[in-house]
Amino acid sequence: MEKNKRTPEQEAEQTLALLEHIRRPAENPYLYTRVREAMMRDQLQKRTTVQWVFALATILIILNGLFWLQSFSITGSENETLSDVFAQDYEFLQPIGSYEDDLDLVSYTMDNE
Amino acid sequence: MTKKLEQEILADLLAKKESAYQYLIDQYQQKVLNTCLGFVPNLQDAEDLCQDTFVEVFRSIHAFKGNAALSTWIFQITTRKCLAFIRYRKRHKRKAFFQSLVGLDAPESRAISDKSFHPGIALEDKERGEILFEKIALLPEKQQTAFVLNRIEGFEITEVADIMQLKRGTVDVLLNRAKKNLRQSLEQYYRNIA
């Protein structure tokens, strides 16, 4: 009943008066342990991240080396001429002959004629 | 804490001495927790924020320049953490609201508690306390910070000015506006429910 008699101003005043009676919270005896644990977790996470970066970098270096070796084995033969590569690429059964071979073929044809 | 003692503690903290960590927590735990409760009147969230504050204090102690008192620096971190948490919660609520509008379920939004009951308020005043903290949360950020530090944690105006890195006069203005806005907001609330 008494509550209904109060004006909004009085209600607001009473609510604001609560600020004077707020008790301080009790200390948490485990806070130190929690903080230490959080810090250790943080350090562990950082270490794990560094380990992952290191592992990834190592894998990339190894893969790079493998690709390099592979490309060297494909184009690495020093005796391979450009025409051989061309013949291989276009799947010619026999490699294209030399200029001298071509001359021989022309002279053979002319002789037969 | 005297200047000399502060220097010793600082040196011990930089040397990562356990005793210094323990001392700092014992010394400031209650004040930090009470400040957090002023911003976030929920014991679980406030304790998490208190923990985060000390973790950051210990982690970035080497960055402490000594321009202000160590306590001022600690409460700057506390305030920053609390405001960041409030912003995050608001963002999360907005996101959950839009997700509910388009029919997407947002289960993680339930993880953030909406209940705000300050453990330092007597049980018979629970309802009033909830309304009070709800209205404090509606204040603009700077007014809220000044109000919580001064009226809830009990810092002097000069200390609040140091923590907020503002002039004393500015803090005075912020406090007066906060009190006026809070009173108006509460009166409006009681007028509406009458």
Question: Whose structure tokens read 């509606």?
Answer: B138
B61 and B108 fall within a common domain: yes
pLDDT computed for residue B110 by the predictor: 47
Summarize pLDDT for A21-49 with one digit per residue, the tens: 888 888 888 898 999 899 888 888 888 88
Could you tell me what percent of chain B has a pLDDT over 70?
93
B116 and B153 fall within a common domain: no
* Mean pLDDT across chain A: 80
pLDDT computed for residue B58 by the predictor: 92
B127 and B106 fall within a common domain: no
Confidence of residue B161 (pLDDT cuts 50, 70, 90): very high
B130 and B146 fall within a common domain: yes
Nearest chain B residue to A3 by CA: give it. B194
Instruction: State the residue range of the domain holding B138.
Output: 122-194
B113 and B39 fall within a common domain: yes
pLDDT of B115 above 70: no
Residue of higher predicted confidence among B107 and B47: B47
Question: In the listed set B85, B120, B155, which residue is the last one of a domain according to the structure?
Answer: B120
pLDDT of B79 above 70: yes
Confidence of residue B104 (pLDDT cuts 50, 70, 90): low
pLDDT of A92 above 90: no
The full set of domain ranges for chain A reads 80-113
B77 and B4 fall within a common domain: yes
Summarize pLDDT for B14-43 with one digit per residue, the tens: 998 989 999 999 999 999 999 999 999 989
The highest-confidence range among A2-6, A97-101, B67-71, B137-141, by mean pLDDT, is B137-141
B70 and B138 fall within a common domain: no
Question: In the listed set B74, B92, B120, which residue is the last one of a domain according to the structure?
Answer: B120
Q: Which residue type occupies B80? A: R
H or E segment and range at residue B66? none
CATH code for the domain in which residue B23 is found:
1.10.1740.10
Question: In the listed set B120, B149, B169, which residue is the last one of a domain according to the structure?
Answer: B120
Question: What average pLDDT does this structure show over A91-104?
Answer: 66
Count of the separate structural domains present in chain B: 2
Contact between A8 and B187 using a beta-carbon 8 Å cutoff: yes
Summarize pLDDT for A72-82 with one digit per residue, the tens: 776 555 566 77
pLDDT of B73 above 70: yes
The alpha carbon of residue A49 is apart from the nearest alpha carbon of chain B, in Å, by 18
B144 and B83 fall within a common domain: no
pLDDT computed for residue B92 by the predictor: 85
From B21, B125, B189, residue closest to A18, measured CB to CB: B125
d(CA B85, CA B132): 19
B98 and B59 fall within a common domain: yes
Q: Is B130 on the interface with A (CB under 8 A)?
A: no
B2 and B85 fall within a common domain: yes
Question: What average pLDDT does this structure show over B131-144?
Answer: 94
Q: Which of B125, B130, B135, B193 best probes binding to A when mutated, by most A CB atoms within 10 angstroms?
A: B125
CATH code for the domain in which residue B193 is found:
1.10.10.10
SS (H, E, C) chain A: CHHHHCCHHHHHHHHHHHHHHCCCCCCCCCHHHHHHHHHHHHHHHHHHHHHHHHHHHHHHHHHHHHHHHHHHHHHCCCCCCHHHHHHHHCCCCCCCCCHHHHHHHHHHHHHHC
B25 and B69 fall within a common domain: yes
pLDDT of A98 above 70: no
